[in-house]
Amino acid sequence: MGREVHQNRPHAEVVGGHCFGNGSKNRNCVLVGDTGVITLALSKGRIFDETLPLLKAAGIKPADDPEKSRKLVIATNRADVKIIIVRASDVPTYVQYGAADMGIAGKDVLLEHGGDGLYQPLDLRIARCRMMVAVPNEFDYESAVRQGARLRVATKYVKTAREHFGAKGVHVDLIKLYGSMELAPLAGLAEAIVDLVSSGNTLKANNLRPVEEIMPISSRLIVNQAALKLKRNSVQPMIGAFSAAVARSKK
Ligand code: PRT
Ligand code: MG
């Protein structure tokens, strides 16, 4: 599929062979045009909160607080930057299809998404935690694994869990959940879970213990690959400002 220019979207380009264009016969196409405005996709909660200092370093101040306002499109002090508020696991999809030029997503979310069509220039070192295997305090995970038992594991992170247990040669039946993984062993749905742990308080409160660390997790800046070229003049300074802020915070 080649380049398409749409009358009401100057300089629009077809990305990755998918088109949602207005009036286009090609229904699955996404358009990334240089309107001069950068759209940044963020999820509310810890990612939004921990992104605020990075935005400040780039001279960007959101006009509303997503915890207080119901707005999903938030203007900033800069006419050329707007923020859209999406579910954490939807951030890579918005950026992949060019509905957002940039976004911030956890490595956990990016691994499940696969990263197609995304440029990942920067580990922002925010929203840090660990992806872990956890079991009820009384469950002898180590013996079960040694004996080659088949384990039922509940998780939101099916892809990451499959790779982890596959590499270890542990037999598992993975059960996909969308939240509150900690409940699964208590309710008898699974013997183990794969979930994110930061303070460890949620595991403790539910009589669970961590038995394996799969990997450390932090959030990454992601950029639509077409926007990186077409909006270079706006995108590059923002990557630079974020990168400098991350370097300063390491010291
Ligand atoms: O909540 P929602 O279902 O909408 O989406 P989400 O859970 O994916 O979003 P959000 O905002 O909760 O998390 C966004 C990102 O923050 C995740 O994708 C991670 O990269 C990162 N992050 C960092 C965490 C945590 N720390 C974390 N502790 N995400 C979730 N948790 C949860 C964890 O799943 C567990 O239920 O917090 C609980 C454990 O916390 P502790 O402190 O008790 O150990
Ligand atoms: Mg959550």
List per-residue pLDDT tens for the chain, 251 residues long: 334 333 333 333 333 333 333 333 333 345 555 668 999 999 999 999 999 999 999 999 999 999 999 999 999 999 999 999 999 999 999 999 999 999 999 999 999 999 999 999 999 999 999 999 999 999 999 999 999 999 999 999 999 999 999 999 999 999 999 999 999 999 999 999 999 999 999 999 999 999 999 999 999 999 999 999 999 999 999 999 999 999 998 87
Instruction: Give the closest residue (by CA) to ligand 1 atom 18.
Output: 106
Ligand sitting nearest the alpha carbon of 195: 1
- Mutate which of 48, 133, 198 for ligand 1? The one with the most ligand atoms within 8 Å of its CB, which is 198
Distance CA 27, CA 20 (A): 5
Do 210 and 134 belong together in one domain? yes
Do 115 and 136 belong together in one domain? no
Do 7 and 48 belong together in one domain? no
Q: How far is CA 23 from CA 7, 10, 64, 137, in A?
A: 10, 15, 34, 58
Instruction: Tell which residue, 141, 136, 173, has the closest CA to residue 154.
Output: 173
Residue with tokens 């892809």: 159
Say yes or no: CB of residue 198 within 6 Å of ligand 1.
Answer: yes
Q: Which domain holds residue 172?
A: 129-217
Say yes or no: CB of residue 44 within 6 Å of ligand 1.
Answer: no
Do 199 and 139 belong together in one domain? yes
Helix axes 232-250, 46-57, angle to 10 degrees: 100
Contact of 88 with 199, CB cutoff 8 Å: no
Do 174 and 201 belong together in one domain? yes
Domain count, the chain: 3
Do 205 and 143 belong together in one domain? yes
Q: What angle do CA 76, 81, 82 make, to 5 degrees?
A: 65
Largest CA distance in the chain: 66
Say yes or no: CB of residue 218 within 6 Å of ligand 1.
Answer: no
Do 242 and 203 belong together in one domain? no
Looking up residue 167, the CATH number of its domain turns out to be: 3.40.190.10
pTM over 0.85: yes
Q: How far is the CA of 236 from the centre of ligand 1 (A)?
A: 29
Do 88 and 146 belong together in one domain? no
pLDDT for the residue numbered 31: 53
